[in-house]
Structure 1
Amino acid sequence: MPHPPAYVRSIERALDLLQLLCLVLASAALAVLIASFGWLVFGRYVLNATPTWVEQLALLLICYIAFLGAAAGVRDDSHIGVTLFRDLLPARAQKLVIIAVDLALAGFGIAMLAAGASLMAFGWDTLLPMLNLPESVRTGAITSLGALMAVFAGTRALLRIVHFRNWAPRAPEDI
């Protein structure tokens, strides 16, 4: 298989950096989550003063950890999927199914982006209990996942369409 053109390599590098950013942010959120629960245990059992904000912060962080991780999975093309029937098809039909799945993921991402933006606008005046942050901060996780899904899956679909002849579906043993 020939090497991809320079513009494809540039796009792939940019998307790899965006995926790395997702993973770094999710990892940082996980570290903050662990530290906050350490503070919760220390406050409850040593200081005898339970920090009540930890639960709300944990709920917020879990949203970002899960959604940023899911976006990285879409970029890796490791999202959940049943490929039994696709793998039974000839290579050309497999390519069409893979592109259709990428386009469906991108469409779902656009729908999540639109719905998330609507939720963010709706919840801007409502504060998260004990954190005094707008509810929109929590729904920002949904919105960001939608945007990232649309970018990752949509770009992959477009590149596969443009280079239809020059790529092959992964064999089941490669997955």
Structure 2
Amino acid sequence: MTGLFRRTMDWLYLACVIVGGSALVLIAAVIPYAVFTRYVLNSAASWPEPLAILLTIVLTFVGAAAAYRFNLHMNVSYFANQLPQPWRKGLDLVVQLLMALIASFMIVWGERLVEVTWHNSIADFPQLSVGVTYLPIPIGGACLLLFIVERILLGLPPDPIAQTGEAMPFD
């Protein structure tokens, strides 16, 4: 059962990385297009800036969950590393529980934000619901919560690059 859960989290991680990476690539394509239309064509397009903002929301919340899984986020662990090993384990559990609280907050209040704004539309994209643009908040929170549960139950996942020298195998 633990192997299945770990593999499922591997696949969820891969999905988060693909979504976040795709958002980053699209941002990198949209912004130069906006600069080109504004300064070369002298006719600024109205949609690149709001699209880049929407993609940044996706990158932020989904990408942050992926980064958290392998401890790739910024953290200050100097003082925690000075503690004796048993205290470090206890402190890590407290940190994981506090992060679970934050992830739960993202899920609950993010879902409420999506629900409240679902029938509003964006001026530059009238066919797109504002609620859809906020979906990365509860989705990212759910991914983060699953990665926290994985870390509490099974520990930090093994670093796939350190083991094989290659990208993570998903089989």
Alignment TM class, shorter chain as reference: 0.7 to 0.9
Where in structure 2 are the equivalents of 1:19-168 lying within 5 Å? 19-132=13-126, 133-160=128-155
Aligned to 2:168: none
Structure 1: 5+ residue stretches without partners: 1-6, 161-166, 168-175
Aligned positions, number: 155
Q: CA deviation at 1:10?
A: 2.8
Query: Which has the larger share of helix?
Result: 1
Once residues 79 and 21 of structure 2 are traced to their aligned partners in structure 1, the CA distance between those partners, rounded to angstroms, is 35
Once residues 7 and 143 of structure 2 are traced to their aligned partners in structure 1, the CA distance between those partners, rounded to angstroms, is 15
- Percentage identity across aligned positions? 32
With over 3 angstroms needed to count, the CA separation of the structure-2 counterparts of 1:83 and 1:37, relative to structure 1, is closer
Does the 8 Å CA contact 1:74/1:149 hold for their aligned counterparts? yes
| Largest Rg, 1 or 2 | 1
Residues 106-115 or 151-160, more deviating: 151-160
Does the 8 Å CA contact 2:23/2:55 hold for their aligned counterparts? yes
Does the 8 Å CA contact 2:61/2:141 hold for their aligned counterparts? no
Does the 8 Å CA contact 2:103/2:141 hold for their aligned counterparts? yes
Q: CA deviation at 1:117?
A: 0.2
Q: CA deviation at 1:76?
A: 0.8
Once residues 84 and 29 of structure 1 are traced to their aligned partners in structure 2, the CA distance between those partners, rounded to angstroms, is 33
Q: CA deviation at 1:140?
A: 1.1
Pick from 5, 10, 13: which aligns with 2:7? Answer: 13
RMSD: 1.9
TM-score, normalising length: structure 2: 0.81
Does the 8 Å CA contact 2:30/2:48 hold for their aligned counterparts? yes
